[in-house]
Structure 1
Amino acid sequence: MITLRNIIVKLILGTFLIVGINSCDEGGEPDPGSTLVVEMAGDWYVKAYDESGTNALTGFSLFSTYNTSDNNNSLWLDDHESIFPLKSKVSVDLSTMTFSISDAENLFDAAGIATVTEGKVLEKATTSTGGNVVDSIAFKVTLQNDPGNIYLIGGYKRTGLLEDEH
């Protein structure tokens, strides 16, 4: 027997069904966009070397490069205080994938100034410890709190694969 209550329940269920079907997004994947320096940003495994690049002074350490809040031609260099205190903003030339800065504020060292020269990111230019072809990064850095020493920092982009983790 059809009652007013059955009709109301069916109308409510029908409404929920129609709203549920119409709320599904069939528009494909959203495009979150990217930052201006996306090709140079990422996590890296790097070593510190003497200026000649022949003597490794450290083992592999995690190092990060990422965009600034201005999203312009600058990039943060961040060693997470694992090699020496270094967190500085550098200027980027995207056409050559290079970066540098003179007398930059070093946020991990209150009294420190950092100078970064000869910075570059090379696409698919090296092999990770696990044998994967990846981007490489290299630059020279001098620190005000360590005068007279120039360090070469070099390594490869983190793949996230277990065989490449350190």
Structure 2
Amino acid sequence: MNSNERLIHEFYSSFQSLDWQGMQQCYASNIHFSDPVFNDLKGDDVSAMWHMLCNRAKDFELKFSDIQADEKHGSARWEATYTFSQTGRKVNNVIFAEFQFDNGKIIRHSDHFSFWKWSKMALGPIGILLGWSGFLKNKVQQQGLNGLKLFILRHHSKKNL
């Protein structure tokens, strides 16, 4: 296992333990993250997102596999099972992650999964009916960003550091 493969392994091992600070240590300060819900986060907002998700995790289990990396790029598959806090519905999300590295840290992290499959599990009938639509995806993205902004105000403001 090379150093970047170990870095990915360390990231997901921290995630399994809901250790957002351990996850943060794997990232460069100029990290750029994207997925179907949080499609363009940078820097401290990425760490705050993982902090929020770890903090809200209920019935959480994570498995990861197929870690591959070279000097600049890497990938992994991971699967998260959890109860979605907003609806109380059980979710089993299968994700393909891509990474870019620089100076022993992750500088770009992109997670790919089917928003429609996720929305069917997380949102139930609304996800089944509208999960394919840009309307629902945009609404979920906006709610996610609003929730993150509120979380940052409560947990990551300068007075709390």
Bigger relative contact order, structure 1 or 2 (CA pairs below 8 A, ≥6 apart): 2
Q: What interval of TM-score do these two structures reach, taking the shorter chain for normalisation?
A: 0.3 to 0.5
Higher strand share: 1
Structure with larger Rg? 1
- TM-score, normalised via structure 2 length: 0.34
The structure with the greater share of residues assigned to helix is: 2
